[in-house]
Amino acid sequence: MAASSSLLTYSLQEHASTETAIKRCKGYMYGNLCSSYSRIGYSKTKFLTSAKFSHNENSSNWEHIQKSPMRNEILCRAVEIENSLSPFVSKKFELDDVIESQQFDREILNDIFDVAHDMEKIEKSSSKSQMLKGYLMATLFYEPSTRTRLSFESAMKRLGGEVLTTENAREFSSAAKGETLEDTIRTVEGYSDIIVMRHFESGAAKKAAATAGIPIINAGDGPGQHPTQALLDVYTIQREIGKLDGIKVGLVGDLANGRTVRSLAYLLAKYQDVKIYFVSPDVVKMKDDIKEYLSSQGVKWEECENLMEVASECDVVYQTRIQRERFGERIDLYEQARGKYIVDKNVLKVMQRHAVVMHPLPRLDEITVDVDEDPRAAYFRQAKNGLYIRMALVKLLLLGW
What DSSP element (H or E) covers 263? helix 259-268
Q: Select the more confidently predicted residue: 87 or 133.
A: 133
Of 383 and 17, more confident: 383
Query: Tens of pLDDT along 129-144?
Result: 999 999 999 999 988 8
Q: What is the CA 22 to chain-centroid distance, rounded? A: 32
Q: pLDDT value at position 326?
A: 57
Give, for 234, the enclosing helix (H) or strand (E): helix 227-241
Q: Residue 373: which residues within 8 A CB-CB, separation 6 or more?
A: none
Q: Helix (H, G, I), strand (E, B), or coil: what is residue 115?
A: helix
Number of H helices, E strands in the chain: 13, 13
Question: From residue 113, how far is each of 19, 36, 90, 226, 232 by CA, in Å?
Answer: 32, 25, 17, 17, 9
Domains and CATH numbers, the chain: 122-224 (3.40.50.1370), 226-382 (3.40.50.1370)
Residues with active-site annotation: 147-148, 177, 198, 226
Give the model's pLDDT for residue 219: 95
Helix (H) or strand (E) holding 307: helix 307-313
Q: What is the pLDDT of residue 52?
A: 29
- pLDDT computed for residue 49 by the predictor: 30
Average pLDDT, the chain: 80
Partners of 39 in the β-ladder:
8
Does the predicted TM-score (pTM) go above 0.85? no
Mean pLDDT of 51-58: 36
Which helix (H) or strand (E) segment holds residue 66: the answer is: strand 66-67
Give the count of beta carbons closer than 10 Å to the beta carbon of residue 361. 19
Q: In this predicted structure, what is the pLDDT of residue 174? A: 62
For residue 60, the model assigns a pLDDT of 37
Mean pLDDT of the region 360-385: 95
- Residue type present at position 166: T
The Cα 216–Cα 198 span in angstroms is 10
Mean pLDDT of 304-322: 95
Find the mean pLDDT for residues 182-205: 95
Alpha carbon distances (Å) from 396 to 80, 142, 391? 20, 25, 9
Query: For the sheet containing 162-166, what is the strand order?
Result: 162-166, 136-141, 194-199, 216-221
